[in-house]
Amino acid sequence: MKYRTIGTDPKNRRDVSVLALGAMLFGSRTDEATSFAVLDRYVEAGGNFIDTSDNYAFWIDGGQGGQSEELLGRWRRSRGIGDEIVLATKLGARPLAPGTGYVDNAEGLSAKVIRESAERSRNRLGVGKLDLLYAHIEDQKVPLAETVEGFAELVAEGTVGLLGVSNHATWRVERARAIAAAAGLPGYEVLQYAHTHLRPRLDVPEAPLFPYGSLGHAGPDLLSYLRAEPGLTLVAYSPLLKGAYTHPDRLPADFDHPGTPARRKVLREIAQETGATVNQVVLAWQMGGALPIIPLVGASSVAQLEESLAAVDLELTEEQRARLDAAH
């Protein structure tokens, strides 16, 4: 395994594996035995960066979520896992009532919610401190200063380490970080957005994933922001497009455009040159690039995880990287 550092504060920064493991469906769609097997193999391979959320997976049973965090808590206790594993979770998108969604009925990012939700997550995970806590989706009803101060209080108390943000407009991320900096408070240092080699069309309206539009993709503005702020790290979710690289019928509608075939073609060429799979080329392209990107992979079997783990040791040449970047 290879590692990179997230965060800048010597007290809370952590060295994490360059490949993160998503636990979204653990304890719900992925049964406990399989989830434990995947987690065990990930740790055996040197992985130490596991991602979840307080609302995973509310849509499976019509509840409010929490199954993933609870399973991770049981796994930690059964394996004697301590702080050698970096656990990241999120708050803000948990439905307020069972049977509802988060688009119109999310818990939000008030100071009260931040404190109460973080405590619930710590209890489910069985930890005294959350290594990384994200603001999951935007809450435009709460002043940014209240959200910033709410997160900072938990860092000051020692119950949260690093702060992150997901699925927010770039300008709101920058404004929140500016508020934090002006007040001498910790700000967001880890960004979690959807990012993969294929590019979505940003000019085509789609059904909004989040209350204020589909802000989940790491578009050109977010990537340029990452380039300008060397202290930030991007955790890239859905790097393999939920299987679309090997099952073209799963390609999301916003990726179905004239630029996609050229990028698919160069991926296939480089996979053939390296003897790797297309999925592995995508992950290696993210892990070894100039920007600090950590792909976040899901796995419903140990075999799926093994394919992703093998990408850690795949070294692409500069010429191959240039071809991957230039295809359009």
Q: Are 21 and 299 in contact (CB under 8 A)?
A: yes
Per-domain residue ranges for the chain? 3-253+278-316
Distance CA 147, CA 165 (A): 11
Residue 27 region by backbone torsions, left for phi larger than 0, else alpha for psi between -120 and 50, else beta: left
CATH code: domain 3-253+278-316 is 3.20.20.100
Residue 289 contacts by C-beta under 8 Å, 6 or more apart in sequence? Answer: 321
Q: Read off the pLDDT of residues 13-67 as tens digits, 9 standing for 90 and up.
A: 999 999 999 999 999 999 999 999 999 999 999 999 999 999 999 999 999 999 9
CA angle at 306 for the pair 197 and 293, rounded to the nearest 5°: 35
Average pLDDT estimate for 88-108? 91
pLDDT at 207: 45
Tokens 């435009």 map to which residue? 140
Q: Read off the pLDDT of residues 124-158 as tens digits, 9 standing for 90 and up.
A: 999 999 999 999 999 999 999 999 999 999 999 99
What are the structure tokens assigned to 267, written together? 């991926």
Q: Which residues pair with 95 in a beta bridge?
A: 106
Could you give phi then psi for residue 294, rounded to 5 degrees?
-115, 110
| Reported confidence tier of residue 103, pLDDT bands at 50, 70, 90 | confident
Q: Read off the pLDDT of residues 204-255 as tens digits, 9 standing for 90 and up.
A: 555 455 554 456 889 899 999 999 999 999 999 999 999 999 999 999 888 9
Q: In whole numbers, what is the pLDDT of the chain averaged over residues?
A: 94
Q: Are 137 and 210 in contact (CB under 8 A)?
A: yes
Distance CA 249, CA 227 (A): 33
pLDDT at 317: 98
Q: Which residues pair with 17 in a beta bridge?
A: 3
User: Taking the model in full, what pTM does it have?
Assistant: 0.96
pLDDT at 100: 86
